[in-house]
Amino acid sequence: MNLERLHGIIPPILTPLTDEEEVDHASLRRLVTYLLDQGVHGIWVTGTTGEFPCFDQAEREAIVRTVVETVGGRVPVIAGIGDASTRLAIQHGRAAWRAGADAVALTAPYYYVNSQEELLDHFRAVRAAVDLPLMVYNIPQNVKTRLETSTVLTLAREGTVIGIKDSQNDLDWFRQVMTAAREEGLAFRGFLGTRILIDAGLVAGAHGAIPGISNVAAADCVGAYAAARRGDWEAADRHTRRIIALQQIVGIARGSPTSSSFSGMKAVLKALGVIATARVRRPLRTVSAEEEARIAAAIATLDLPAFRTAVPMHSE
C-alpha cells in the first residue's frame, strides 16, 4: 500500500452490540459513517477499543468485512489480528485479508511472557503467511511483554513491518524508534495510542494518532492533528482541552478503566443517535441506566456533532 495514506487520526473503532451482546452491524455501519463524516484518515478495527478478545474468529472477520464495505476504499482499514499464539494470529490475518482489510496490526502474544527472539519469530511468521502490510501494536500493559526498540527497528529494517501503534505512553521510547527510523531512511509509520498527546506525538516523530477517545471526539482529534501539522499549538491545545473534557464525561461510569471507558463512549454515541446501545460484552461492565442518563446530560454542554447521514439504525 502507499504508506503516505497512513497518517492522521485513525479511530480504533468500538464494536456496537445489541442488548443480547451480539454484534450490531447496522450500528457499526452508522459509526463508520459518523467518523468518516468528521474527517478521520482511517479506521482501525478489532483493536482493544473494539473488544477484540471477546469475539471469535468468525465474528472478527464479519466485523472487519462490515467496516471495509462501509468505508468503500475512502480511507485505509487496518485490522487487529492479535491472539495468544502465532497460529491463531495467522488465522485472523487471513480472515482480515478475505474481508478486504488494507493492512493488519499485531500485538505480542498474550498470556506467556515471550522473549524478544520469540517476538521476532512471531512477527516474521505472521508476515510470511499473511499477504498484507503488517504493523506492530505495542501495548505491554495488556499483553505483559514489552517490545524493545531494537526489536521493532530490526523488523522495520528487514521490511517485516511498515509501522507501529505504541500505546504504552512512553514518549521517550517512541521517539527513539522514530528518530532511528528517520535517520536510517526506513519506510516506517509511527502512531501513538494516547488520548491527549496528539500534538506532542507529532513533535516526537509520529505520523498521527490512534486514540480510543476519537470514537466520540473525532472532530477535535482531527482538529488537534491538523493544528499541530501547521504549527498552531494554541489551536491544538484548544482541541485537546475539549478532548479532556469529553474523557472526563466518559469517566462518569464506574467499574474498571477498560469497561467504563468503552461503555461510556458507547453511551455518548447512543445519546448522539449513532448506535443503539451502550452494551459491552461480558465480563466487561455495561454502564447503568443512571450513568447513561448522566453521560447524556453532560455531553449536551459540548456541542458534539449528531448523526446526520441517512443510514438506518437497524438492519432491514
Catalytic residues, by residue number, are 48, 111, 137, 165
Q: What whole-number distance in Å separates Cα of residue 164 and Cα of residue 238?
A: 27
Q: What whole-number distance in Å separates Cα of residue 8 and Cα of residue 233?
A: 16
Is residue 237 within 8 Å of 185, Cβ to Cβ? no
Element (H, E) at 219: helix 218-229
Helices (H), 38-115: 57-71, 86-99
Q: What whole-number distance in Å separates Cα of residue 160 and Cα of residue 209?
A: 21
Laid out side by side, the sheet with 163-166 consists of: 8-9, 208-209, 189-192, 163-166, 134-138, 103-106, 77-80, 43-45
For residue 106, give the DSSP letter.
E
Between CA 142 and CA 53, with CA 240 as vertex, the angle to 5 degrees is 20
DSSP track, 133-147:
-EEEEE-HHHHS-PP
Q: What whole-number distance in Å separates Cα of residue 99 and Cα of residue 114?
A: 30
For residue 163, give the DSSP letter.
E
Is residue 81 within 8 Å of 73, Cβ to Cβ? no
Strands 8-9 and 77-80, how do they pair? unpaired
Strands (E), the chain: 8-9, 43-45, 77-80, 103-106, 134-138, 163-166, 189-192, 208-209
Within 8 A by CB and 6+ apart from 139, the residues are 48, 107, 167, 168, 193
